Structure 1
Amino acid sequence: MDREAFLKILTPLDVHDTYRELYFQNPAAFAVPVRSWEEFCGRYNELEGEGKTKLPPVPPTPIAPVFSEEEYFPQEDWGEVSVIVNARYCPAFLHELEFIKIIYVFRGSCFFYIDGRWISMTEGNACIVAPGVEQTVFSCADEDIVLNLLIRRSTFAESFWELLESNDGGVIADFFWKMLYHKPGGEVLLFNSRPDMLLEESVMDLYEEALLQPVKSGLVMKSMMMAIFAYILRWKEKDVVWLRKKEKHREYPLAQYLLYMKEHIDEVSLASLAGNFYVSEGYLSRYFRRETGFTFSQLLQEMKMKRAAELLIKTECNIEKIVALIGYTDQSIFFRNFKAAYGMTPLVYRKKKRQAEFMYT
């Protein structure tokens, strides 16, 4: 899809007309973020005068303090990536997400609100929001086209290891690592960049696959999302702004620790990891808990389960081989942990995932 065709699809206001009419009648009511439709209506009536404008009893678009993955991703196996067009003139409703969001300004501009301040975003800018961050977006011009690219946190963790492993590090890569393993409360990264044609093409392709294709492919959508993240990773660090991090960027060793754990998954221990990086076991235990909210053992078990799931899907290895490759000596413990993580036995998981890949690719 070329840019001209894309703009023809997204230019009509449709359901956003209600918000537009309300905005031009009383723009001051939109100046301050709110947390509910009732709060917005109260502010609107207070500024305009009670009863002058009949406000809808319910908002034209969904409003909630927290949006879950179940609300934004369909149950089908391809429902791991999604695209939402930000509603123009929609009041700025503060909310948190359980998933990862990229805000991309395709045309025009918008305002991003976080921690009590408004940040202006213009065409070509992008903002990555980690789960658990209270924020909102507001755009107030007919020309504005702001896209929300959404991905499940678990999908990001499963699909983007390779992308992060192949990167040499830096501010952006460190942010992605934190987004994967940092404890809830997350951070936000803003890219004050000019339009990137390759990124823009990938965004249009993802929109077409996610919203226009009658038969969708989970593999294609994840590949497109990976391309978008890859383009972002190579952006210049001078254009990057940490919106919640005030201290100077410092080395972030968590990525090195996790990569070492993955490379030595069949034998790594807290003692061996500490020895390899010349730190004490006590320091390492405290570091993992502080940075991720999890213990070393919990992170290692999660890593082992993800590796087992990957081997079940991508190889013909039997269970005994997989158990050995990820460092388990007791199959019963492996089966118990795997079922706790995925809700089914390894063989059932392999069968279901392969059937799904056949249907949706």
Structure 2
Amino acid sequence: MDREAFLKILTPLDVHDTYRELYFRNPAAFAVPVRSWEEFCGRYNELEGEGKTKLPPVPPTPIAPVFSEEEYFPQEDWGEVSVIVNARYCPAFLHELEFIKIIYVFRGSCFFYIDGRWISMTEGNACIVAPGVEQTVFSCADEDIVLNLLIRRSTFAESFWELLESNDGGVIADFFWKMLYHKPGGEVLLFNSRPDMLLEESVVDLYEEALLQSVKSGLVMKSMMMAIFAYILRWKEKDVVWLRKKEKHREYPLAQYLLYMKEHIDEVSLASLAGNFYVSEGYLSRYFRRETGFTFSHLLQEMKMKRAAELLIKTECNIEKIVALIGYTDQSIFFRNFKAAYGMTPLVYRKKKRQAEFMYT
């Protein structure tokens, strides 16, 4: 689908005319974010006068303090990536997400609200929001087209290792690493960039696949999302703003530590990792706890389980071989940890994933 056809689909206001009418009657009521429809209605009536405008008993679009993955991703196996068009004139409702969101301004502009401040975004700008961040977006012009590109956190973790490994590092790559492993309430990255035609084409293609195709392909949608992240990784760091990071960004040790752990997954220990980077075990232990909220042992076990899952899907290795490749000496412990991570045995996991790939690709 070309740009003209895309704009023809998204330009009409349709069901959001209600928000538009309310905004032009009383724009001051939209100036401050709220946490519920009741709070918004109370402010609206207070500023305009009780009873002057009849407000709907329920909002035209979903409102909640937290949106879960179950609400935004279908149960089918292709439901790992989604696209939501931001409702123009919708009041700024503060909320958190359990998944990762990219806000992309396709046309016009919008305002992003976080930590008590409004941040202006214009055409071509993007903002990546990690899970657990309270925020909202407000758009108040007919020409605005703002897209929310959504991806499960687990899908990002499983699908984007290769993308991150191939990147030379830097502030953007480090943000992605932190988004995977940082403790909840993480970072937000704003890109003050100009429109990127290649990224824009991928966004349009993802919209078409996610919302217009009757038969969807999980592989296609994940590939398109990977392309979008890859284009973002190429953007210039001078255009990047950490919206929540207080200290000056200088070094990127987390990515280096995690890559070393992955490359030496069958033998790495806290002692060997500390020795390779010339730091003490105590420092390294505290660093992981501070930056991710987890211990070294927890992160290593999670990494081993992800590697085992990858080997089960992409290779014909038997269980004994997989256990050896990821550095386990006790097969029973491996089975117990794998079932705790994925809710099923390794062989059942392999069967289900391969069946899903056959059905939806």
The TM-score range, normalised by the shorter chain, is: over 0.9
1:18: Cα distance to partner? Answer: 0.6
Secondary structure at the counterpart of residue 9 of structure 2: helix
Q: Is the 8 A contact 2:132 2:186 kept in 1?
A: yes
Q: Does 1:327 align with 2:327?
A: yes
In 2: Cα distance, 1:267 partner to 1:311 partner: 17
1:179: Cα distance to partner? Answer: 0.5
Deviations 1:186-239 (A, max 9, x none): 111111111000000000000000000001001000000000000000001111
Query: What TM-score results when the alignment is normalised by the length of structure 1?
Result: 0.99
In 2: Cα distance, 1:248 partner to 1:283 partner: 20
In 1: Cα distance, 2:270 partner to 2:241 partner: 34
Q: 1:357 maps to what in 2? A: 357
Q: Percent identity?
A: 99
Deviations 1:149-207 (A, max 9, x none): 00001111111111111111111111111111111111111111110000000000000
In 1: Cα distance, 2:339 partner to 2:15 partner: 44
Q: Which sections of structure 2, spanning at least 5 residues, go unmatched?
A: none
Q: Does 1:13 align with 2:13?
A: yes
Deviates more, 1:299-308 or 1:236-245: 236-245
In 1: Cα distance, 2:327 partner to 2:165 partner: 21
Secondary structure at the counterpart of residue 106 of structure 1: strand
Deviations 1:92-145 (A, max 9, x none): 000010110000000010000011111110111000011111100000011000
1:315: Cα distance to partner? Answer: 0.3
1:246: Cα distance to partner? Answer: 2.9
Secondary structure at the counterpart of residue 136 of structure 1: strand
Deviations 1:7-35 (A, max 9, x none): 01101111101101110111100000000
In 1: Cα distance, 2:118 partner to 2:172 partner: 22
Number of aligned positions between the proteins: 361
Q: Is the 8 A contact 2:170 2:252 kept in 1?
A: no
Secondary structure at the counterpart of residue 127 of structure 1: strand
1:247: Cα distance to partner? Answer: 2.3
1:242: Cα distance to partner? Answer: 1.1
In 2: Cα distance, 1:315 partner to 1:356 partner: 16
Deviates more, 1:244-253 or 1:295-304: 244-253
In 1: Cα distance, 2:189 partner to 2:14 partner: 31
Q: 1:2 maps to what in 2? A: 2
Q: Does 1:180 align with 2:180?
A: yes
Deviation beyond 6 Å, 4+ runs, structure 1: none
Cα root mean square deviation, aligned: 0.6
Secondary structure at the counterpart of residue 78 of structure 1: coil
Q: 2:162 maps to what in 1? A: 162
1:250: Cα distance to partner? Answer: 1.4
Q: 1:301 maps to what in 2? A: 301
Q: 1:38 maps to what in 2? A: 38
Deviations 1:68-107 (A, max 9, x none): 1111001111000000000000000000101100000000
Q: Is the 8 A contact 2:174 2:255 kept in 1?
A: yes
In 2: Cα distance, 1:169 partner to 1:186 partner: 19
Give the alignment of 1:87-102 within 5 angstroms.
87-102=87-102
Q: Is the 8 A contact 2:101 2:128 kept in 1?
A: yes
Deviations 1:280-332 (A, max 9, x none): 11111111100000001000000000000000000000001000100111111
1:248: Cα distance to partner? Answer: 1.6
Q: Is the 8 A contact 2:123 2:195 kept in 1?
A: yes
Q: 2:340 maps to what in 1? A: 340
Q: 1:249 maps to what in 2? A: 249
Q: 2:129 maps to what in 1? A: 129
Secondary structure at the counterpart of residue 317 of structure 1: coil
1:240: Cα distance to partner? Answer: 0.7
Query: What TM-score results when the alignment is normalised by the length of structure 2?
Result: 0.99
Q: 2:71 maps to what in 1? A: 71
1:2: Cα distance to partner? Answer: 0.5
